Chains A and B, each alone.
Chain A
Amino acid sequence: MTSAAIEVFLQTLIAGILLGGLYALIGLGMTLIMGVMKIINLAHGELMMVGMYIAYWMFVLFNIDPYLSVFIATPILFFLGIALQKFLINPVLKVDSILPENQVILTVGIGMVLANLATIFFKSDYRSTPVSYATNAFYLSDYWRDSPIELSLSVPWTVSFVLAVIITISLWFFLARTDTGKSIRATAQDTDAALLMGVNVKLMRVVTFGIGSGLVGAAGCLFLPIYYLFPSLGGQFTLIAFVITILGGLGSTIGAIIGGLILGVFESMTATYVGMGWAPVGRFVIFVVCLIFLPGGVASLLKRKKLGK
């Protein structure tokens, strides 16, 4: 390989990992909800959109950096998630209906309402936060004068990635070490057993939905400096989260993280070596291949090798 080819490869890999880290954070929230409640939350992308609007207005009105808005948007989304679960999804869970998955359909409706409310309030304008560091980057040649190749690392992308990793680690810590976290995991593994062990399953469901929403709200704040914002942006991210959830193996957190990274790298590689127009196709090739050959997702591989739980 020539140095130019290596440069292209490394730059693509960097882009893929950065994107994958953010994808993983989007996927995590959906996976968590999937694991505990056994439903796919199809309003996931719209919740992210809400998070992004919160960060956007915080920046425009109070000049608060989108990264600091993580601490504002996450709690708001957490309580929004709790409210949605308590007043909309829980009542529907109790009703017998001809459709077995009527809660899933309900989440589609919630998503539509959110997207249309955003259109009414904020119009369908495209917006972005003109943060001052939006196009700053670190360059390899600045640190190593005569390097044969030039690589660049965008500042906002890197910050978003690092924050995503920190949020993911703290989530893992929460799930592994705290009582509430253990209860959530117990509910995800076996609802009846958890109930018999004295876990307040109902409360855990509510809390999980809140955490899932909070996570995706945080992801929205991290996306704002590198992307832009419009009311109907939710759909494409719901789709990404869905693919990651399947890829990771319905409900496995570690699976979702690995799934997100795989998807990010795969998309970037497709864009470089096949064609950018093919990147969305690549996404669904992975999806279908995973459904056919690895129905348990990454999690089932981990289990086989006795790596995860």
Chain B
Amino acid sequence: MRRLSILLILVFMLGIFSSGIAAADTLNLSIPLPLTGSQAKFGEMEKKSYEIAAEEINAKGGIKGKKVVLEFEDSQGKPEISRSIAEKLIDVKKQPFIIGDYSSSCSKAIAAVAEERKTPYLVVTGAADDITQQNYKYVFRMNPSSAYYSSGLMSFLSEVVKPKTVAILYESSDFGTSGAKDMENQAAKTGMKVLVNEKYEKGAVDFKPVLSKLKATRPDVIYMVSYVMDAALLMKQIKELRIDAKLFAGGAAGFAIPEFIDNAKDAAEYVVTSTLWSSQVTYPGAKEYAEKYKKMNGDYPSYHGAEAYSALYILKDTLERAKSWSSEDIRTAMKATDMVTAFGPIKFEDKDGYQNQNFMDTLVLQVMNGVHQTIWPKKYATTKYNYPIPKWRDRK
């Protein structure tokens, strides 16, 4: 008995000791993500993508010889929790930089803390315009802001569909509001008339009242900015009411992920959506990442996953170029980033009222036979677009 307990103590001490050694040549990295709550779906996808990237980086010798060890902090999609996580990472864990989180509201909360504590923060998915419009010096964003999400879709509209009128439906969140605002501006610029501009509280059960009002105005294009379940519900009820617009367009997020098709079924057919990335793009590493993700999880990732995966590579690139790993040097190095990731080219620029913002081409997807296909811009297209779309009555 006594010998056993001594043995146990020894084993235990060895455990502590070895973990102590390991700590010296590892880079511990905590990433805030919504792992529970209504955005957990995206948080989960990003978590897996970070892990794939970390594994690849470690297999090739880590970052400057240090092994990357990831930890995830659950922000539950609530800005106040994100904020306290950011404070903990900076003040307690002394992490010299922060990356991650999902929604715009959470990213905004972290950005404010990071700027105040002079710690560089890489926004990975938060898309609300104003995150990089506040003259923040320490906040970088790799994804285009939501004003640019629809740039691809806009060129598709003006070159192919040529609509005269548009109806906008959006969720009353940061992301939805800024997406709708952007569409309004674009419509004004291209001379489209906005017939209906309606927001809704997420979790609504019945969209039919607002949809029948929209139907009466006969818009050419219906543009919707929603998360996944609302997106599916909207298209299902549009089918029920047989609203025949020339085009149904979604503003990324809920419309661009496979779950949208799983839930909306045949109502999803022909719906186009702007997106930032698809598993078919030709950026180096994109295909390999998409296949690896599919092998592990059975489904292709959406752009959120590619963003997370590439974020870690941006961080690797930055840390390898930085003179030291102090916040100040990391900021300088990140500002000089100029690389091509699986997600696309990354370069942090100050223009059009944005600071440290990455600008890039966005894509347009269309659902064909239950699969998302890239249809626009032409140089990235995998198949020709389907337009005009058939009326509901004639579909079967």
Contacts and interface: CB of A to CB of B under 8 A. Distances in A.
B265 A130 contact: yes
Interface stretch (A10-18, A96-104, A200-208): A10-18
A159 interface: no
Contacts of A124: 36-38, 40-41
B242 A150 contact: yes
A276 B199 contact: yes
Contacts of A276: 198-201, 204, 207, 209-210
Nearest to B263: A128
A154 B200 contact: no
Contacts, number: 111
A65 interface: no
Given A8-B212, A11-B212, A275 B199 contact: yes
Contacts of B232: 128, 228
A174 interface: no
B240 A280 contact: no
A268 B232 CA distance: 20
Nearest to A130: B265
Interface in A275-289: 275-277, 279-280
B195 to A, nearest CB: 13
A226 B205 contact: yes
Nearest to B34: A124
B240 A137 contact: yes
Nearest to B238: A135
A125 B38 CA distance: 7
Contacts of A173: none
B20 interface: no
Most A Cβ at <10 Å: residue of B36, B201, B209, B259: B209
B367 interface: no
Contact of B201 (A7, A126, A269, A279): A279
Contact of B216 (A7, A126, A152, A226): A7
B38 A230 contact: yes
Contacts of A152: 240-242
Given A125-B41, A134-B236, A268 B206 contact: yes
B228 interface: yes
Contact of A8 (B200, B213, B239): B213
A184 B215 CA distance: 48
A71 interface: no
Given A128-B263, A135-B239, A272-B209, A232 B37 contact: yes
B164 interface: no
Interface residues of B, number: 38
B209 A228 contact: no
Contacts of A125: 40-41
Contacts of A39: none
Interface in A257-299: 267-269, 271-273, 275-277, 279-280
A63 B38 CA distance: 26
A18 B36 CA distance: 33
A139 interface: yes
Contacts of A11: 208-209, 212, 241
Interface in A95-149: 119, 123-126, 128, 130, 134-135, 137, 139
B327 interface: no
Nearest to A235: B203
B332 interface: no
B252 interface: no
A236 B202 CA distance: 11
A228 B233 contact: yes
A15 B38 contact: no
A104 to B, nearest CB: 24
A302 interface: no
A130 B262 contact: yes
A233 B37 CA distance: 11
A5 interface: yes
B186 interface: no
B218 to A, nearest CB: 9
Nearest to B217: A4
A70 B153 CA distance: 44
B229 interface: yes
A139 B209 CA distance: 16
A127 to B, nearest CB: 9
A211 B369 CA distance: 46
Contacts of B37: 124, 232
Given A125-B41, A130-B263, A268-B206, A12 B212 contact: yes
B58 interface: no
B54 interface: no
Interface in A233-260: 233, 236
A202 to B, nearest CB: 37
Contacts of B213: 8, 12, 272-273
B328 interface: no
B256 interface: no
A139 B216 contact: no
Given A135-B266, A152-B241, A126 B198 contact: no
B131 to A, nearest CB: 23
Contact of B240 (A119, A154, A268): A154
Contact of B36 (A119, A154, A226): A119
Contacts of A16: 209
B267 interface: yes
A5 B212 CA distance: 10
Contacts of B239: 135, 137
A291 B296 CA distance: 56
Interface of A: 4-5, 7-8, 11-12, 15-16, 18-19, 119, 123-126, 128, 130, 134-135, 137, 139, 150, 152, 154, 223, 226-228, 230, 232-233, 236, 267-269, 271-273, 275-277, 279-280
Given A126-B228, A276-B207, A277-B201, 10 more contacts: A8-B213, A124-B38, A135-B236, A135-B266, A152-B240, A272-B212, A276-B198, A277-B198, A279-B201, A279-B204
15 contacts: A7-B216, A8-B216, A15-B209, A15-B212, A124-B40, A134-B236, A135-B236, A135-B265, A154-B208, A223-B205, A228-B229, A232-B38, A276-B207, A277-B201, A279-B201
- Shortest Cβ-Cβ A-B pairs, 5 listed: A271-B209, A11-B212, A15-B208, A272-B209, A276-B200
Interface of B: 36-38, 40-41, 172, 198-201, 203-210, 212-213, 215-216, 228-229, 232-233, 236-237, 239-242, 259, 262-263, 265-267
